[in-house]
Amino acid sequence: MTRVVTEALRECYARIERNKRKASVAELLAIADRAAVHVKRSYIEHGELLYDENGLPK
């Protein structure tokens, strides 16, 4: 049984590795566009979250 499961996992991993490729710029922009639809609030500068009005860490 262990050998069967191990072999199945190896085959699955090999299939994933064969299909692995880098995303193109167009694909990444499409993902960003789909995600942007779900953002309900306005963009906040990261500095506003990390630093106070005097520039010191919060």
What pTM was computed for the model? 0.39
For 45, residues 6+ apart whose C-beta sits below 8 A from its C-beta are none
Largest separation between any pair of C-alpha atoms in the chain: 64
For residue 31, what pLDDT is reported?
A: 93
Per-residue pLDDT of the chain (58 residues; tens, 9 = 90+): 799 999 999 999 998 888 887 888 999 999 999 998 888 877 788 888 899 888 889 8
CA-wise closest residue to 46 among 38, 58, 34, 29:
58
CB 18 within 8 A of CB 24: no
For residue 7, what pLDDT is reported?
A: 94
Hunting for tokens 């090999």 — which residue is that? Answer: 14
Chain-centre distance of CA 34, in angstroms? 13
For residue 55, what pLDDT is reported?
A: 86
Residue ranges covered by each domain of the chain? 22-58
